[in-house]
Amino acid sequence: MEPNTQKLIHSFGALADLGQEIADTGDFIEMVRTSLHLLLGTLAIRRGAVVECPSHLDQTNPLALWGLGEGYEARFSVDDETKAAFLACETGAVAVHTSAAHEPSLVSFLAAHEAEYREQLIELIVPMIVRGDLTGLVLLGGKASGEPFNADDIEVIRSMVRHIGVGIHTHRLLAEVKQQAEENRRLYFDLRAIYRDTVRAFAAAIDIKDKYTQGHSDRVGKYSEIIARELGFAEEAVEGMAIAGYLHDVGKLVVERDIINAPYRIDAKQSSELNRHPGAGFEILSPINHPYADIPLSAKYHHERMDGRGYPDGLTDTQIPLGAKIVTVADSFDAMTTDRPYKKRRTFDEVVHDLRRNTGTQFDPVIVSAFCRALLKELNGETRERKFLKMLGKNYLDARKDAPLLVQLLSELDATTQSAAAGG
Ligand SMILES: [Fe+2]
């Protein structure tokens, strides 16, 4: 094999790798520079430049320069007519100083830059054409040997330039896709914020209807969020649980106000009317395309119990979705710690006692355990924010003294869940 051919093959191999690298962003400019270097090296050319022709501009954007005069930037204007002329150029390479029969716009372009190119010793301009677009131009000086470019040289140059062009084009596409993705991401976050605000407004509307439980939905949302985070949910799922909590009682919107606000224990008929609210909530929430899973199901099943004695469907343990189980604990905790017309709030030690008594029958031990862990961390001052204490308000300022009760409940729960795991 002729040494020249060998060198050519080597250069092409290197260029093939580079094409990939140009496309994969990385250090894009560095890759273009290396490509130019390879091209120059292959034909022993001393100087050259690769410039981009952005479609929305009539100015070139220089990407790589080699061996040109100091301060020379290869930044010049290329109007649409000139671009079209380069695209139509049949030889694929424009000899700068010959009086070949070019299109008029190209002739005047070359005439305008004649002095500049003479000074920089540029002899050839090769358009980079990719998918019918002028991606850029490659400016080349003459061969070091002083011989003119022959047809084979031009063929090699055109192939290599085309290769560089594809790399640049792909790089541009990737950049556009990236930008588009970034834009979509922003839009998505905006939408999520709007969704969240709407949900909170919705929750406030639910609570206004129930004059005895002001802020109930808001607190259940926050408690659910805390439990989910303690359970190690991903941030997105944590947010979803907050939403599920805010919306769990949305079905109360269809229950008569008098029943919700009855200042006495309601009778069986009223109670069955009130018990429609989980199902009604599901109906209201199902048609909405929530960005989080299980919001409607959490509303539907937040009054189910582990032992199957809940409503509306009497589901048991594993049949109840995890989200609903979380909302159940959050909901009950808020019910225990706020005054109702027929039921006074519990003291903190009574709350712990109730949690213990109802775990396994009403509540899932795993959820109660997570809830207690999070609560204990706050009582022990291990958390930066005081989320629970803020929501519990002034009635539970002395809850800290009952922290040992929580510790005890937690160790009992740990023993149960561990033996359940061992048995199961
Ligand atoms: Fe409820």
Report which of 305, 303, 389 is spatially closest to residue 348, judged by C-alpha positions: 389
pLDDT tier for residue 408 given thresholds of 50, 70 and 90:
very high
Output the domain CATH number for residue 389.
Answer: 1.10.3210.10
For residue 303, report the distance from its CA to the centre of ligand 1, in Å.
6
Q: Over 90: is that where the pLDDT of 359 sits?
A: yes
Give a yes or no: residue 343 inside a domain: yes
Is residue 194, in this structure, part of any structural domain at all?
no
CA distance 277 to 281: 6
In the reported structure, the alpha carbon of residue 281 is separated from the centroid of ligand 1 by a whole-number distance in angstroms of: 9
Strand order in the sheet with 133-141: 61-66, 48-52, 133-141, 122-130, 94-95
Asked whether residue 294 is domain-assigned, the answer is yes
Range of the domain at 32: 3-179
Q: What is the mean pLDDT of residues 374-400?
A: 84
Interval between CA 30 and ligand 1 midpoint (Å): 63
Asked whether residue 218 falls in the same domain as residue 121, the answer is no
Q: Are 159 and 8 in contact (CB under 8 A)?
A: no
pLDDT score, position 290? 78
278 C-alpha vs ligand 1 centroid, how far in Å? 6
338 and 382 in one domain?
Answer: yes
- Interval between CA 286 and ligand 1 midpoint (Å): 17
Cα-to-centroid distance, 265 and ligand 1 (Å): 16
Q: Do 27 and 172 belong together in one domain?
A: yes
Separation of CA 248 and ligand 1 centre (Å): 6
pLDDT at position 132 over 60: yes
Q: Which CATH number is 118's domain given?
A: 3.30.450.40
CA distance 368 to 362: 10
Inform me whether the pLDDT recorded for 424 exceeds 60.
Answer: no
- For residue 202, being part of any structural domain is answered with no
* Residue 391 CA, ligand 1 centroid: distance in Å: 19
Q: How much is the pLDDT for 344?
A: 87
Average pLDDT across the chain, whole number: 87
pLDDT of 119 reads 93
Per-residue pLDDT at 227: 96
> Does 411 have pLDDT greater than 60?
yes
Residues 133 and 261 in one domain: no
Q: What is the DSSP string of 1-58?
A: --HHHHHHHHHHHHHHHHHHHHHT-SSHHHHHHHHHHHHHHHTTB--EEEEE--TT-S
Q: What is the pLDDT of residues 240-266, one digit of tens each?
A: 999 999 999 988 888 887 777 777 778
* 84 Cα: distance to centroid of ligand 1 (angstroms): 70
Is residue 150 in a domain? yes
Distance CA 62, CA 51 (A): 4
d(CA 240, CA 250): 16
User: What tokens does 361 get?
Assistant: 């029958």
Q: Give the residue, 282 or 382, on which the prediction is more confident.
A: 282
Q: Say what the pLDDT of residue 301 is.
A: 97
> Percentage of the chain surpassing pLDDT 90?
42
Rounded to the nearest angstrom, the distance between the alpha carbon of 195 and the centre of ligand 1 is 22
Q: Give 332 Cα–ligand 1 centroid separation in angstroms.
A: 9
How many folded domains does the chain comprise? 2
pLDDT at 26: 66
Residue type for position 382: E
Is 37 domain-assigned? yes
Please indicate, yes or no, whether residues 215 and 158 belong to a single structural domain of this protein: no
**pTM recorded for the entire structure:** 0.65
Residues 231 and 309 in one domain: yes
User: Which among 138-142, 163-167, 378-382, 403-407 has the top mean pLDDT?
Assistant: 138-142
pLDDT recorded at residue 17: 64
Q: What is the pLDDT of residue 361?
A: 95
pLDDT at 100 over 90: no
Q: Of 128, 156, 179, which closes a domain?
A: 179
- Residue 423 pLDDT > 70, yes or no? no
Report which of residues 7 and 2 the model is more confident about.
7
What integer pLDDT is reported at residue 51 of this predicted model? 96
Residue 120 has pLDDT above 90, yes or no: yes
What distance in angstroms lies between residue 339's CA and the mean position of ligand 1's atoms?
A: 16
Cβ atoms of 86 and 127 within 8 Å: the answer is yes
Confidence of residue 390 (pLDDT cuts 50, 70, 90): confident
Same domain for 264 and 349: yes
Pair 97, 117: CB distance under 8 Å: yes
The pLDDT of residue 203 is 82
pLDDT grade for 414, boundaries at 50, 70 and 90: confident
The radius of gyration of the chain from alpha carbons, rounded to an integer in Å, stands at 37
Q: Are 118 and 225 within one domain?
A: no
Residues at Cβ < 5 Å from ligand 1 ion: 249
Q: Which distant-in-sequence residues (6+ apart) come within 8 Å of 413 by Cβ?
A: 359, 365, 368, 369, 372
Of residues 2 and 309, more confidence is placed in 309
The tens digit of pLDDT for each residue in 23-72 reads: 665 678 888 898 899 899 888 999 999 999 988 888 999 999 999 988 89
In a shared domain, residues 49 and 89: yes
Q: Tell me how far the alpha carbon of residue 91 lies from the centroid of ligand 1, in angstroms.
A: 79
Instruction: Tell me how far the alpha carbon of residue 238 lies from the centroid of ligand 1, in angstroms.
Output: 20
